[in-house]
Amino acid sequence: MKFSKLRQLIPVSSIGLLVAALLTACSLTSVDLVYVASSTGIQAYAADSRSGALRTTTPPVTSGVSSPVAMAVTSDDSNLYLANLGTSSSGGTIVHYAIGLTGELTLKDTLTLSDNPVSLAVNTAGTYLYVASCSSSATAPTLLCSTSGKLTEYALSSGTMGSAATQMPLDLTGAFASDILVPTGVAVLANNGSNILGNAVYVTAYDQSAYNPGCTPTPACTPSTANPGWVFGYNIGSAGALAASTNSPYQAGVKPSAIAADPTDRFVYVTDFASNELIGYTILDGSTLNFMTSGPFKTGNEPSAVTLDPRGMFIYVTNSLDSTVSAYEITQATGNPTGAVNVTGSPFNSTDTTPVAVVVDPALGRFVYTANEQGNSVSGFRLNATSGSLSPTQSTPYPTGSKPTALVAVPHGNHATQLVTP
């Protein structure tokens, strides 16, 4: 009798365990959606609020994706913009997708450009899209520009892209006026309202005529003695009018590769790919840049991307040659970054191969993700809110499509972004 009852209990127990497992799986809460652009499309991932682990959601979006190099989202998390580099013969495109309530992407409109976009950013009000581009004489393996780069400002109306409102050439003056500058990054200050203070956009570029190792000097690589790296700054006035900041452009090492501004509009940070450094600037009078006196600051080898956490407390830099990400704590009074050392004693955190983009989750500010171009993956890290140090998330890295080059993140559901309270 006892044996018979025991046999009856076995399937019941098994069912109970299965139900418990399903309930546990269903209890996972997605705090962010992470979008990763690769040569095979844009893949959406849900980030678990407890572990930071990523899982795929909807199938990849392939429409409009050809040669992705950068992405940006509006501050209301309802629009995503993708820059396709294109080819030297056909130019590139900017593609606009609407972000649905569950994170699905819907293709809305496309801008076809005569030149090749390399970076883009959206202002906080969602009224302008800023695109850095140049006419290319070659796009692989290294971008070469046949003419100097430019910054183009496109008007946005409920996310829809309009015509170019303003265009600014990225040129030097005097003896170096004919040098060709290659744009690499764009950043818009976070608190860009109707006034000039805190209302500026910055573009990083390097002088192709002064820095281009191994390039045959005709015509784009004609040698120049100019400073190689620059940051161009512009005040944003009424109706989107752009005016050069005082003393712009500003020197930026040898080959600036990426740029980010802190959420309180006090500091700007630029990675120097050639010198393995992070260059810091303080923002004066709303847009003018001034070098941080104790910089530049050491990074790993070939830093490729930079971002700040939503509170403006920490900086994260991907080092593409080392396959690492570096963490820094920001000294709030000066903006100076100090290396955040992990429990292992190392300031570097291993990613998969060749990280080229980095983002901090906006909902909680607790997780960091890198897109690893040669690893075909995303690496995840848990952010220590006190020290800024990183530790790997569960099951990292996460597979992506081929050669991921850009990523962005938006809060999922009713999660709000982190308040700026450094």
Structure tokens at 368: 């960091």
Residue 349 has pLDDT above 60, yes or no: yes
Average pLDDT over residues 137-154: 88
Report the pLDDT averaged over residues 157-186: 95
Tell which residue, 358, 199, 207, has the closest CA to residue 278.
Answer: 358
Q: What is the CB neighbour count within 10 angstroms for residue 284? A: 13
DSSP state of 35: E
Comparing 312 with 221, the larger pLDDT belongs to: 312
Q: What is the pLDDT of residue 83?
A: 98
Contacts of 133 (CB under 8 A, 6+ apart): 92, 113, 115, 116, 117, 118, 149, 150, 152, 183
Residue 158 has pLDDT above 60, yes or no: yes
Domain residue limits, the chain: 29-411
Is 212's pLDDT higher than 90? no
Q: Provide the pLDDT confidence category of residue 388 given band limits of 50, 70 and 90.
A: very high
User: What pTM does this model have?
Assistant: 0.90
Residues 67-78 pLDDT 10s = 999 999 999 999
**If you average pLDDT over residues 116-142, what whole number do you get?**
92
Q: Which amino acid is at 194?
A: S
Residue 120's pLDDT is what? 98
| pLDDT grade for 192, boundaries at 50, 70 and 90 | low
**Using 50, 70 and 90 to split pLDDT, how confident is the model at 342?**
confident
pLDDT at position 188 is 96
Arithmetic mean of pLDDT, 136-146: 83
Residue 219: pLDDT band by 50, 70, 90 thresholds? low
- Under the banding of pLDDT at 50, 70 and 90, the label for residue 102 is confident
Percentage above 90 pLDDT, the chain: 75
pLDDT, residue 142, reads 78
Least confident among 237-241, 251-255, 266-270, 324-328: 237-241
| Chain centre distance of CA 184 | 12
Phi and psi based region of residue 265 (left: phi greater than 0; alpha: psi -120 to 50; beta: remaining): left
Mean pLDDT, residues 233-257: 95
For 130, the token pair is 């800023």
Q: Which of 76-80, 235-239, 270-274, 279-283 has the lowest mean pLDDT?
A: 235-239
CB-based contacts of 93, cutoff 8 Å, min separation 6 = 64, 66, 83, 84, 86, 110, 111, 112, 113, 117
Find residue 47's DSSP bridge partners: 32, 54
Q: Which CATH class is domain 29-411?
A: mainly beta
* pLDDT mean over 331-349: 83
Average pLDDT of the chain, as a whole number: 88
Assigned token pair, 392: 């790997």
More confident position, 272 or 31: 272
